[in-house]
Amino acid sequence: MKEEILFTSALGIRTPWVIEEISFREGEGKGELHIWIKCESGSKFEYEGDHYSMYDHQDRTWRHLDFFQHVCYLHCKVPRIQTKAGKTLLVEVPWASESSKFTLLFEDKVLVLLNSGMSNSAVGRHFGIDGKTIFRIAKRRVVVALAEEQLDEVKRIGLDETSYQKGHKYLTILTDRELKKVVGIGIGRTKDSVNEALMEMEIRGSDRELIKEISMDMSKSYISAHQE
């Protein structure tokens, strides 16, 4: 019971979520700490002003920050609700984003290490995962941050590429030339990358049809995207 109280405090777990079980598994090198979280019986979940009981659940697992030098995983049977309109929705958990396999605290630590100057591969080695996964974590957090910042009409854009991982990988960067700020990011330097960046811009409230002027390099893929 004392363990549950300790980890409830450490994880910031609040009602209706409670720790159900904690187990430690020996492994090669680091051991593994597994924490199971459940929802209190009879809990209700709000959606568009109405409150719903659990309809069914979905098993989810997230990588968390290490505890006492042991790799930590959180597990939960996340409730799903069925709305009056018949939609089945997964309840949001407070410790992780909807589509992520990592907790918010884990992702925060990744961003801190990247901001300190470490490369994706170096951060990956630190956590025992690959650099591509680290990049996807950072990319998703950037997209979320950008989406929360709404845009006015973007009329003059700059389209450029930047490299990372010692020049082996590329990003397509879309900027508002008047405000001199990033409005969209795409992975790679292809026509699809440009479209991804434009979609991010539109999510934030600006229509690509309003663009009057484009400044870009002479990449064939960028020229093709411009013509379309």
Residue-range domain boundaries for the chain: 1-95, 149-227
Q: What CATH class does 149-227 carry?
A: alpha beta
pLDDT of residue 138: 87
Residue 224 has pLDDT above 70, yes or no: no
Going from the C-alpha of 139 to that of each of 20, 132, 187, 198, the distances in angstroms are: 33, 10, 9, 15
DSSP string for 102-113: BBHHHHHHHHHH
Model confidence at 88, in pLDDT bands (50, 70, 90)? very high
pLDDT of residue 220: 47
Model confidence at 108, in pLDDT bands (50, 70, 90)? very high
Mean of the pLDDT values across residues 61-68? 92
> What average pLDDT does the structure give for the chain?
84
> 148 or 71: whose pLDDT is higher?
71
Phi, psi of 185 (to 5 degrees): -135, 135
- Report helix, strand and coil shares of the chain as percent, to nearest 5: 30, 35, 30
pLDDT of residue 219: 56
Q: How far apart are CA 127 and CA 189, in angstroms?
A: 28
Residue 13 has pLDDT above 50, yes or no: yes
pLDDT of residue 179: 81
Helices (DSSP H) in the chain: which residue ranges? Answer: 2-11, 104-115, 120-127, 131-148, 191-203, 220-227
Q: What percent of the chain has pLDDT over 70?
A: 88
pLDDT of residue 188: 82
Task: Give the strand pairing for 70-82 and 88-90.
Answer: antiparallel
pLDDT of residue 90: 94
Residue 46 has pLDDT above 50, yes or no: yes
pLDDT tens per residue, range 161-219: 877 655 567 788 888 888 888 888 888 888 888 888 888 888 778 888 888 888 876 55
Model confidence at 145, in pLDDT bands (50, 70, 90)? confident
